[in-house]
Homo-oligomer: A and B are copies of this chain.
Amino acid sequence: MSDRRSFPKPQSGMVVPRFGGIATFMRLPAFTDPADLDIGLVGVPWDGGTTNRPGARHGPRQMRDMSTLMRRVHHVSGIEPYTLARIGDLGDTSVNPASVDDSLTRIETFYAKLHKAGVVPLSAGGDHLVTLPILRAIARRRPLGMVHFDAHSDTWDTYFGGYKYTHGTPFRRAIEEGLLDPKRIVQIGIRGSLYGNADMAWAYDQGIRVITIEEYFDLGVDKVIEEARRVVGDGATYVSFDVDGLDPVFAPGTGTPEIGGYSTHEAQRMIRGLRGLDLVGADVVEVSPPFDPSGNTALVGVTMMWELMCLLAECVAKRRARPAAKRQRFARRNKRNV
């Protein structure tokens, strides 16, 4: 299915209607060799870190299905991602439903291969723990900044008497491992009752900029964008979009719904507001099909992927335009991988 020379294009809905054909992300060709691509769309069908309602393992497939509704040009920015970057579907990572540790290794291995090939990953979870092995693969060299859309800070320490790897802990681990720079993290939409008053203390102590949903509504979207851009600055930045940051009416198919979030329109505006940042990867997580068989949550998720893909494609095109820097990047990477 691959085409190394030209930029892959999605199958047109005017030729094969949107309900037809094998469902790949955005109706793009499937690839197995990352070298064919600039941006790799990847599924991580795993929910072994889920502490309450499971099902996000089924997310990538339903998101592929709903992604056939996406088209080619962004209606606001005018970005045409498929003319800016080689983008394709790299399939799903290997996972092990019977082991958290083995799964974390398998996922990291998959992304390490992508990273080595210079591919920018845009991922569909899976639960939020999958972001940890992705970061392990792409942020070993230097800590990244992060724009984090979520109802939960996901910086808890342990669960169930000392267990360190759940979908409530990835960013604690990532900061501890030096994968994220806490001072360049902004979390948007945090809310919901707490286990204890100290729950958020660690996050605040690390210098994370937490924008609770209450502050979000008080500031308004434009100020929130401004603040997010200020926090992450010019450095390399990752975007992690947990659909439970949205109000559950927009994303009922998720494991840990918290009522009272932002709308999809607001989320779209926030993502668009990140245009021009130095983005090195992104994910959309916690779409859980068994809790929304209608597919509407998956449609929301893939539309966010579409919004993020437009930004990532611009970043790829911009980097390509800087050949020297690119060469340096390759040099650095090769050194790193020796």
Contacts and interface: CB of A to CB of B under 8 A. Distances in A.
Interface of A: 1, 12-24, 30, 32, 43, 45, 47-55, 57-58, 60-61, 64-65, 69-76, 78, 80, 89, 91-100, 102, 159-161, 163, 165-166, 190-197, 199, 212-214, 217, 247-250, 252, 256-257, 259-261, 263-265, 268, 290-294, 296, 299-300, 303, 306
Given A1-B30, A17-B45, A250-B249, A259 B299 contact: yes
Given A160-B99, A193-B73, A30 B22 contact: yes
Contacts of A197: 73, 78, 80
Contacts of A160: 14-15, 17, 96-99, 102
Contact of A98 (B13, B60, B159, B252): B159
Contacts of A213: 265
Nearest to A31: B1
B299 A248 contact: yes
A159 B72 CA distance: 16
Contacts of A1: 1, 30, 32
Contacts of A78: 197
A1 to B, nearest CB: 6
A263 B260 CA distance: 7
A48 B49 CA distance: 11
25 contacts: A1-B30, A14-B195, A15-B94, A17-B52, A19-B53, A19-B61, A20-B45, A20-B93, A21-B92, A22-B24, A22-B30, A53-B58, A55-B290, A71-B194, A73-B195, A75-B212, A97-B166, A98-B163, A99-B163, A102-B163, A249-B249, A252-B296, A259-B265, A259-B299, A290-B290
